[in-house]
Amino acid sequence: MHVFIAGANGQIGQHLLREIADSDHGARALVRHLDQGPELQQLGATETVLGDLEQDCREAMKGCDAVIFTAGSGPHTGPEKTIAVDQDAAIRLMDTAKAMGIKRFIMVSSMRAEEPDKGPEKLRHYLRAKHNADEHLKNSGLNYTIVRPGQLTNEEGTGKVSVSARLADFGKIPRQDVARVLLAVLDSDNVTNRVFDVVSGDTPVAEALAKL
């Protein structure tokens, strides 16, 4: 597949480019600044394209047959940016993908996004934005997978995870392992139109997804 990656310059995004470089898939990395291009191509992007998720990305997506959304406004912006990027930009990208006939859409969401009002108070606006984007995706008619990681860390990945439609206990997961899960999702038939939580665990990624 030729995969459009929203958030390619981010921390998960960069791990994902390295993973995709060793796969049969190609990656088109969306960047906000042209000078980000050479480094991302060195990591594994097949190509880079300039764009902003708060604008129309139709041109940037032409020729792709899947989308992975791993963008985010980050922890240092206010609630308006969270709504603008994590919710509205994600929804716009889904609608654009649908209109263009790009059928596969993989979303990096967050554990606890299904019940935002039960999350920690300072995270509720973020969880609500993720929740709204996830609900839009589920009702979009796209072939979706919603991956809900626990707290992200920068530790080296182990390649082993715990996945379930709903994990009772909150946990952590290295960004590198989230990237491995995203690549495995691209290659798995049984995770289409599925939503699952993922944290570090004892089961190799492919095996964990196969058992879902």
Ligand X SMILES: NC(=O)c1ccc[n+]([C@@H]2O[C@H](COP(=O)([O-])OP(=O)(O)OC[C@H]3O[C@@H](n4cnc5c(N)ncnc54)[C@H](OP(=O)(O)O)[C@@H]3O)[C@@H](O)[C@H]2O)c1
Nearer to ligand X, 159 or 171 (CB): 171
> How many CB atoms sit inside 10 A of residue 174's CB?
21
Q: Of 4, 69, 126, 144, which one is the catalytic site residue?
A: 126
d(CA 61, CA 8): 14
User: Which residue of this chain has its Cβ atom nearest to ligand X in the complex?
Assistant: 10
Tokens of 179: 């990237």
Backbone angle region of 100, left / alpha / beta, with phi > 0 → left and psi within -120 to 50 → alpha: alpha
- Identity of the residue, 199 or 208, whose beta carbon is nearer to ligand X in the bound complex: 199
Nearer to ligand X (CB atom), residue 10 or residue 210: 10
Helix (H) or strand (E) holding 174: strand 172-174
Nearest C-alpha neighbor of 200 from the set 134, 140, 180: 180
In angstroms, give the least distance from the CB of 75 to ligand X.
7
- Measured from the CB of residue 80, what is the shortest distance to ligand X in angstroms? 12
Name the residues that contact ligand X, by CB under 6 A. Answer: 7, 9-13, 30, 32, 52-54, 70-74, 85-86, 89, 108, 110, 149, 151-152, 175
Judged by CB, which is closer to ligand X: 123, or 210? 123
DSSP string for residues in 93-139: HHHHHHHHT--EEEEE--TTTTSGGGS-GGGHHHHHHHHHHHHHHHT
- Tell me the closest approach of the beta carbon of residue 153 to ligand X, in angstroms: 8
Token pair, residue 90, equals 């994600």
What's the min distance (Å) between Cβ of 40 and ligand X?
10
Assess whether 144 carries a catalytic annotation.
no
Active site residues: 126
